[in-house]
Amino acid sequence: MNYKSTRNNNISVKSCEAIAKGLSHEGGLFIPESIPTVSLKNIEYMADMSYTERAKEILGRFLTDFTEEELDNCINSAYTKEKFGTNAIAPVYKLNSEQYILELWHGPTCAFKDMALQILPHLLTTSVKKLGIDREMLILVATSGDTGKAALEGFKNVTGTKIVVFYPDDGVSQIQRLQMCTQEGNNVFVSAVNGNFDDAQNGVKEIFTDNEYEKELDKIKVSLSSANSINWGRLVPQIVYYFSAYCDMVKGDEIKVGDEVNICVPTGNFGNILAAYYAKRMGLPVKKLICASNKNNVLTDFIRTGVYDRNRSFYTTTSPSMDILISSNLERLLYMVSDGDSEAVKGYMTSLKENGTYTVSDEIKAKIEEIFYGGWADEDASSETIFQTNDKFGYVIDTHTSVAVSVHNEYVKETGDTTKTIIASTASPFKFNGAVLSALDSETQIADLDEFRLLEKLADDYELRIPSSLSALEEKEVRFEMVCDKNQMKAVINEFIKN
Ligand SMILES: *Cc1c(COP(=O)(O)O)cnc(C)c1O
């Protein structure tokens, strides 16, 4: 199986090249040239498998240039009980007869980015080795919080890699800061940057596009790489858990093999829901894909009107990982629903860059509408849903998952479709404890509590267990205290890699 670019059909590379490169040189995203299939018979077999065996089934169909041993190594290094606290890796919780919560947050950082970032470093180093590239990979990340920590956990102690994470000094929560500054591992470095997230991100971008610096690094056999969410190596592991959830439902006698389910995903960059779309195209019996947005509802409008328009206000919400106006992975969907019309995709993306907007053809719009439902939840609806979900079912969800549950509730009201639905739960409620506590009890007094007391309060009041990776933070040794200016970032990197 080879990979094309969404903006140039003549490109054809192996999966190891797609993963090692991340982005095609003309700016397109790598995409498999065909969609492998999984039959109902396959699904029946997979129902009796472990998560890692299921992962092998799915990844093996896409990464055909990897040997069985290579794939095994990647998968077995990533999805362990030690890291995820459960052999199920991504367990399904039955909320009621229609809503099944797919818990994607059992990994080391308590959010769903772990599902991909635990395996990406292994896929990347294996790819580089297969290509015979004799280089150390230096991963640079600018983070507003969650991705940086998940990347650090994924890359720590992975041979052949080093990782440097920059976060805005005045832009992350107390827990996020501690998560990063106490990071363990012999190949990691973390620094705050004076300024906000844009300062950190622009600094990293400048380094990535600095040709002179690239040459300098090349001399010492170092290549820059990012752990960006458009890398195919981040997308493909996400397909696995939709099959796995379906298999778990079969095994638990909730459905029979062949029964259709809906999938509802709280969406930002469109990566997670695109993985669900792949699962459907591969043969997973999925009726509707429900795309849930917060107040930054650019995707809801797109699905309903065919017009993507980022020229709008940006809102900061209690579901910050979905505060996005450009959903990069949507490009892959456009390619797929236009039957690989890379010229059309290129046109849309040029228009987005130049005018901040594009309008898809009626044909594409109709195809998207047939499969996707778009909805959004404002802050009140999201908060109310956290309360109701606990009140009715005794289950506490985080602020991102609540957007999805809220939109699904609306969907059922609007359409009367009571098909059993897998709802992706993307973060542990402990990661957003303040907003979750306020939603659960509007009378609660939390203004004076620091984040660790909030963890304890959430655990005590609602009989939950604090994830050990979060509670342990308060006692952990701080390893990184550096704060640099934007123009010192390169020097910080140099100091680190020369050691
Ligand atoms: C990244 C993230 C999302 C959005 O996922 P996309 O793949 O970008 O659509 C949703 N919830 C949480 C908690 C996240 O970290």
The Å distance, Cα 437 to ligand 1 centre, comes to: 21
- Which pTM does this prediction carry? 0.95
Alpha-helical segments (H) within 356-421: 362-371, 379-393, 399-415
Q: Which of 168, 201, 140 is closest to 497 using CA atoms?
A: 140
Mean pLDDT across the stretch 306-331?
92
> Can you give the pLDDT at residue 109?
94
In degrees, to the nearest 5, what angle opens at C-alpha 335 toward C-alphas 2 and 259? Answer: 85
**Domains of the chain by residue range:** 89-109+236-430
Mean pLDDT across the stretch 420-428?
97
pLDDT digits (tens, 9 = 90+) for 115-164: 999 999 999 999 999 999 989 999 999 887 788 999 999 999 999 999 99
The Å distance, Cα 258 to ligand 1 centre, comes to: 29
Q: What DSSP element (H or E) covers 358?
A: strand 357-359
**Computed from CA positions of residues 110, 115, 117, 122, in that sequence, does the dihedral angle turn out positive or negative?**
positive
Q: Which of 73, 72, 1 is closest to 36 using CA atoms?
A: 1
The Å distance, Cα 376 to ligand 1 centre, comes to: 15
DSSP string, 101-112: EEE---STTSBT
- Nearest CA owner, ligand 1 atom 15: 321
**Cα distance between residue 313 and residue 325, in whole Å:** 9
Mean pLDDT across the stretch 35-58?
98
The Å distance, Cα 322 to ligand 1 centre, comes to: 6
381 close to 406: Cβ distance less than 8 angstroms: yes
Instruction: Report CA-CA distances (Å) from 76 to 10, 51, 52, 227, 307.
Output: 35, 10, 7, 20, 42
SS3 394: coil
**Cα distance between residue 115 and residue 104, in whole Å:** 7
pLDDT digits (tens, 9 = 90+) for 445-477: 898 999 899 999 999 999 999 999 998 998 999
Mean pLDDT across the stretch 274-279?
98
Beta-ladder partners of 293: 376
pLDDT digits (tens, 9 = 90+) for 323-348: 888 888 999 999 999 999 999 999 99
Which amino acid, one-letter code, is at 357? T
Q: Which of 122, 142, 112, 6 is closest to 63 using CA atoms?
A: 122
Q: What percent of the chain has pLDDT over 70?
A: 100
**Nearest ligand 1 atom to alpha carbon 105:** 13
**Cα distance between residue 483 and residue 406, in whole Å:** 40
Residues 6+ apart with CB under 8 A from 199: 168, 193, 486
The Å distance, Cα 113 to ligand 1 centre, comes to: 7
> Can you give the pLDDT at residue 145?
73
400 close to 319: Cβ distance less than 8 angstroms: yes
pLDDT digits (tens, 9 = 90+) for 167-219: 998 778 888 899 999 999 999 999 999 988 888 888 988 898 888 999 999 99
Ligand 1, pocket-test mutation among 144, 269, 274, most atoms within 8 A of CB: 269
Q: Report the CATH number of the 89-109+236-430 domain.
A: 3.40.50.1100
Better-scored residue on pLDDT, 137 or 498: 137
The Å distance, Cα 447 to ligand 1 centre, comes to: 27
The Å distance, Cα 320 to ligand 1 centre, comes to: 9
Mean pLDDT of the chain: 95
**Nearest ligand 1 atom to alpha carbon 427:** 13
Mean pLDDT across the stretch 261-277?
97
Mean pLDDT across the stretch 358-382?
98
> Can you give the pLDDT at residue 101?
98
**Nearest ligand 1 atom to alpha carbon 113:** 15
Per-residue pLDDT band for 70 (boundaries 50, 70, 90) equals very high
Q: Which of 420, 442, 439 is closest to 429 using CA atoms?
A: 439
Q: Which residues line ligand 1 at a C-beta cut-off of 6 Å?
A: 111-113, 146, 266-272, 321-322, 400, 426-427
Ligand 1, pocket-test mutation among 143, 321, 399, most atoms within 8 A of CB: 321
DSSP string, 218-281: HHTTEEEE---TTSHHHHHHHHHHHHHHHHHHHHTTSS-TT--EEEEEE-SSSHHHHHHHHHHH
Q: Which of 71, 48, 173 is closest to 126 using CA atoms?
A: 71
> Can you give the pLDDT at residue 205?
86
- Nearest CA owner, ligand 1 atom 14: 321
SS3 350: helix
Beta-ladder partners of 4: 31
Q: Which of 23, 82, 393, 441 is closest to 227 using CA atoms?
A: 23
pLDDT digits (tens, 9 = 90+) for 84-103: 999 999 999 999 999 999 99
Q: What percent of the chain has pLDDT over 90?
A: 86
Pull the structure tokens for residue 415: 């359409």
DSSP string, 441-489: -TT---TT--HHHHHHHHHHHHT-PPPHHHHGGGGSPP----EE-GGGH
Ligand 1, pocket-test mutation among 103, 179, 272, 432, most atoms within 8 A of CB: 272
Which amino acid, one-letter code, is at 44? E
Q: Tokens 């040709």: give the residue.
A: 211
Q: Tokens 């699962």: give the residue.
A: 279
**Nearest ligand 1 atom to alpha carbon 324:** 8
The Å distance, Cα 197 to ligand 1 centre, comes to: 17
The Å distance, Cα 116 to ligand 1 centre, comes to: 11
The Å distance, Cα 237 to ligand 1 centre, comes to: 14
The Å distance, Cα 132 to ligand 1 centre, comes to: 34
- Nearest CA owner, ligand 1 atom 11: 426
At residue 443, φ and ψ (nearest 5 deg) are -90, -10
**Nearest ligand 1 atom to alpha carbon 272:** 7
Per-residue pLDDT band for 25 (boundaries 50, 70, 90) equals confident
